[in-house]
Amino acid sequence: KSLLSWIRLLIESYRACPELAWGRYEVLDAGDAAVLAHRCDTEGGTVVAVHNFGAAPTRAELKLAGLDASCLLKDVLGEGSERVAKDGSVTLDLGRYGCRWLRVERQRR
């Protein structure tokens, strides 16, 4: 993937996520000093963004208040999803200098 393609994807994804521009912003503890994690909440939804500024792959362990096992985190920048645990925790794998933007989808049971 070229740098131009990556930048286009970021711009398109940012425009598709009004939570990032207009949402209430909260920095999250990811358990790793090389990782910046934050969530943006609006009445219409939640996006969690996680960025690894380190040269080594890592895992981010997040506690997401107000979320539970009925919530699925769907990748905005690519394929994939992560299930939130009953206690609101989720563990995310990040490649070196990698990032993930995840939109919360609440599922009915």
User: pLDDT per residue over 15-44, tens digit each?
Assistant: 999 999 999 999 999 999 999 999 999 998
Average pLDDT for 69-80: 94
- The SS3 call for residue 92 is strand
Task: Kindly report the pTM of this predicted structure.
Answer: 0.91
- The SS3 call for residue 9 is helix
Phi-psi label, residue 79: left if phi above 0, alpha if psi -120 to 50, beta otherwise = beta
Confidence (pLDDT) at 1: 72
Confidence (pLDDT) at 107: 80
- The SS3 call for residue 76 is coil
Q: Percent of the chain beyond pLDDT 70?
A: 99
Model confidence at 108: pLDDT above 80: no
Both tokens of 45, joined, read 């939804």
Mean pLDDT taken over the chain: 94
